[in-house]
């Protein structure tokens, strides 16, 4: 996991003072190219890691070899924890490492680091197409979440453009589409970050519910969204070999039921309409068999007839 490597790379540099990409690669059992990218990511994020060219060169942590993180500034420590936090909810060893790093920080920086460690969640399950471009206003929102400052948002929704004052609670990266969970005068809201057309970070302190847990709250939001979107389900049979592909295509909308006597796997898939399931499965041809409901089978038959009519023999 990349976040683990970033933390391990930083600790290795503190212990040795100066390292080469080859040394990091050998220590962490990765390629030299991967080690170099990790070092460059730390430097780009604001952690004081710099390359030194020429004979005897390498990568150094400014300030020399150290056994704690007291050489990091508040901004640098926050950058490191923002890099590591997406994996923290899933990896127990990384959570332990982050707790140790927090205790090593000066007390004045500790609050920012702890806030940054819970500011971002990564959810790899897709909701259809993705927007690969990093949102322009993401950095400003991260800063507001960590410093707990209210933000003035300009937002383009289906109802039109709106302006509102919000308390930013956390950010979620869902398959490279970012969402902001925030409190507003109308209650909790979820904003898609690429639809935020303007952000002004104020100096007003943001309010946050006691005991708020971003990972747990995002799971609740997802469950609510899925409940509204997944109104129709179908049962299909697919081979063991193609099962991973089917699960990836439907994401959270797929659930393995059991395995039949013929070795094929029974899977329940869902979408908001029968045509949505049919359109997704039509390209599979005979590789999947839809057992029901009839509404999905009818849509598949209709799509098949259209294809035969257009592309069949003349």
pLDDT in tens, 154-202: 988 766 788 889 999 988 877 678 899 999 998 899 998 889 999 999 9
**Sorting pLDDT into bands at 50, 70 and 90, what band is 112?**
low
Start-end ranges of CATH 2.30.30.520 in the chain? 123-212
CB neighbour list of residue 40: distance below 8 Å, 6 or more residues apart: none
| 123-212 under CATH 2.30.30.520, yes or no | yes
**Sorting pLDDT into bands at 50, 70 and 90, what band is 114?**
low
Burial class (CB in 10 A: 0-12, 13-18, 19+), 205: exposed
What would the two tokens of residue 94 be? 């990384």
How many residues are listed for the chain in this entry? 314
pLDDT above 50 for 135: yes
CB neighbour list of residue 284: distance below 8 Å, 6 or more residues apart: 242
- Helices 92-104 and 74-88 cross at an angle (nearest 10°) of 160
CATH no., domain 2-118? 1.10.10
Find which of 8-17, 66-75, 223-232, 248-257 is predicted with most confidence, using mean pLDDT. Answer: 248-257
CA distance 142 to 94: 21
State pTM to two decimals.
0.46
Start-end ranges of CATH 3.30.70 in the chain? 230-311
Rounded (to 5) percent helix, strand, coil in the chain:
45, 30, 25
Block residue for tokens 């969402």: 179
- Helix/strand/coil for 284: coil
Backbone angles phi, psi at 265, to 5 degrees: -100, 135
Start-end ranges of CATH 1.10.10 in the chain? 2-118
* Fold assignment, 230-311: Alpha-Beta Plaits (3.30.70)
């Amino acid at each position: 996991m990349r976040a683990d490597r970033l933390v391990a790379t930083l600790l290795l540099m503190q212990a040795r003072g100066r390292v080469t990409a080859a040394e990091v690669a050998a220590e962490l059992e990765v390629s030299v190219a991967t080690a170099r990218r990790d070092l460059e990511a730390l430097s780009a994020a604001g952690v004081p890691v710099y390359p030194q060219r020429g004979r005897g060169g390498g990568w150094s942590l400014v300030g020399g070899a150290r056994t704690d993180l007291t050489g990091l500034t508040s901004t640098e420590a926050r950058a490191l924890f923002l890099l590591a936090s997406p994996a923290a909810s899933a990896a127990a060893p990384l959570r332990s490492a982050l707790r140790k790093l927090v205790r090593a920080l000066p007390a004045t920086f500790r609050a920012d680091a702890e806030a940054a460690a819970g500011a971002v969640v990564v959810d790899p399950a897709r909701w259809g197409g993705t927007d690969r471009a990093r949102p322009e206003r993401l950095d400003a929102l991260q800063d507001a979440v960590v410093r707990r400052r209210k933000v003035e948002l300009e937002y383009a929704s289906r109802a039109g453009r709106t302006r509102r004052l919000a308390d930013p609670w956390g950010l979620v990266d869902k398959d490279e589409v970012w969402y902001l969970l925030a409190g507003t005068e109308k209650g909790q809201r979820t904003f898609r970050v690429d639809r935020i057309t303007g952000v002004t970070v104020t100096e007003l302190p943001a309010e946050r519910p006691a005991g708020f847990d971003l990972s747990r709250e995002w799971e609740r939001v997802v469950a609510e969204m899925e409940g509204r979107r997944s109104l129709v389900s179908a049962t299909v049979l697919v081979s063991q070999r193609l099962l991973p592909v089917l699960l990836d295509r439907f994401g959270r909308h797929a659930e393995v039921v059991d395995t039949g006597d013929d070795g094929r796997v029974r899977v329940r898939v869902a979408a908001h309409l029968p045509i949505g399931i049919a359109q997704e499965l039509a390209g599979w041809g005979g590789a999947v068999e839809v057992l029901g409901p009839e509404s999905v089978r009818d849509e598949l038959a209709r799509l098949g007839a259209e294809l035969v009519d257009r592309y069949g023999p003349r």
